A and B are shown apart, each in its own frame.
Chain A
Amino acid sequence: NAGVTQTPKFQVLKTGQSMTLQCAQDMNHNSMYWYRQDPGMGLRLIYYSASEGTTDKGEVPNGYNVSRLNKREFSLRLESAAPSQTSVYFCASSPTGFSTDTQYFGPGTRLTVL
């Protein structure tokens, strides 16, 4: 099992460009998450999907959109990238979405917006 995979691993964008970060899990988990990690700020939830067909905003959703394509895949789109979106992005999944679940993380995407 690959667990949670993310593509790309690194990306450099210019301000105003768009891109989609891809995430897939092979553990048959219902819930999936997108986080950003910035120095000194821990992980902040951007969007989550409690189950296939549903998505909800997290703490910092502005500037992002998501798509839960099917049970396996959850993508994050930046429509018009800004320097403030420079960060490391992590996708995670968990079996049920309840807070005591283990969240399984991908290796991250390191995004720089110039």
Chain B
Amino acid sequence: TQLLEQSPQFLSIQEGENLTVYCNSSSVFSSLQWYRQEPGEGPVLLVTVVTGGEVKKLKRLTFQFGDARKDSSLHITAAQPGDTGLYLCAGAGKGNYQLIWGAGTKLIIKP
């Protein structure tokens, strides 16, 4: 069974600080996605990574896919209150049609 573990489960920091959250597995994934979910809404895609070692930047957010395609990280520089939300990672599962989802990291950025 493929599993994705996210850490930390919860993170509360002050505005302006930097942070990194992790998504780890013992299985290899052909691709991995990061979504952000705000309270009362559905998840929204932030990025898709498909190549081992790939780094993608989205403004202050930097996403990295591990060389062995078993793990990924999300780094936020100078966090802002608008970054608050639940960050979910999801990897390609069986048959490439299903996603395996992590439980998420709940991030709170205090003004």
Which residues of A pack against B, CB within 8 Å? 4, 31, 40-45, 48, 50, 58-59, 90, 92, 97-100, 102-103, 105-108
Give Cα distance in the complex from A84 to B48, angstroms: 33
Q: Which residue of B lies closest to A3 (CB)?
A: B42
**B42 and A98 contacting across the interface, CB-CB below 8 Å:** no
Pairwise interchain contact B98-A48, C-beta atoms closer than 8 A = yes
- Are the C-beta atoms of B92 and A42 separated by less than 8 Å? no
Question: What are the nearest 10 A-B pairs in CB distance?
Answer: A105-B42, A99-B92, A42-B101, A43-B101, A42-B103, A102-B45, A99-B96, A100-B31, A97-B97, A90-B42
Number of interface residues of B (CB under 8 A): 25
Which residues of B are at the interface with A, using a C-beta cutoff of 8 A?
4, 9, 30-31, 33, 40-45, 48, 50, 88, 90, 92-93, 96-99, 101-104
Q: A42-B88, A59-B98, A105-B42 are in contact. List 6 more A-B contacts (CB 8 A).
A: A42-B104, A44-B101, A90-B42, A90-B43, A99-B31, A107-B40
